[in-house]
Amino acid sequence: MVFVLLPRGPQLWSRGGTSSSLTGRTSPVTSGYSNTPLATLYLLSDGEYSLHSFVMIHEEFGWPFFSYLDFAVREGTVQAQRALGTAGEDHYQESFYKNREKKLQFMRAMHGHTKVAARHVATAFDLSGFTSACDLGGSTGALAYELARQYPGLKVTIFDLPEVIEDAVLFKPHGPEAGQVSFVPGDFFRDTLPEADLYILSKILHNWPDDKVHQLLSRISRSCKPGGGLLLAEQLLDEDKCRPLPALMMSLTMTVLFQGRERSLSEYHSLLQAHGFTDVRAVRTGSTSDAVLATRA
H helices within 136-241, ranges in order? 142-150, 162-168, 210-223
As a whole number of angstroms, the distance between CA 132 and CA 195 comes to: 8
Peptide bond into 246 cis (omega under 30): no
- If one counts every other C-beta atom within 10 angstroms of the C-beta of residue 111, the result is 24
Which active-site residues does the annotation give?
206
Q: Are 199 and 133 in contact (CB under 8 A)?
A: yes
**Cβ neighbours of residue 113 under 8 Å, at least 6 residues apart?**
51, 54, 203, 288
Quick check: 60 and 1 in contact, CB under 8 A?
no
Half-sphere exposure of 80 (CA within 13 A, CB side): 15
CB within 8 Å of 52: residues ≥ 6 apart: 1, 3, 4, 43, 44, 45, 108, 112
Burial of 102 per CB tally in 10 Å (0-12, 13-18, 19+): middle
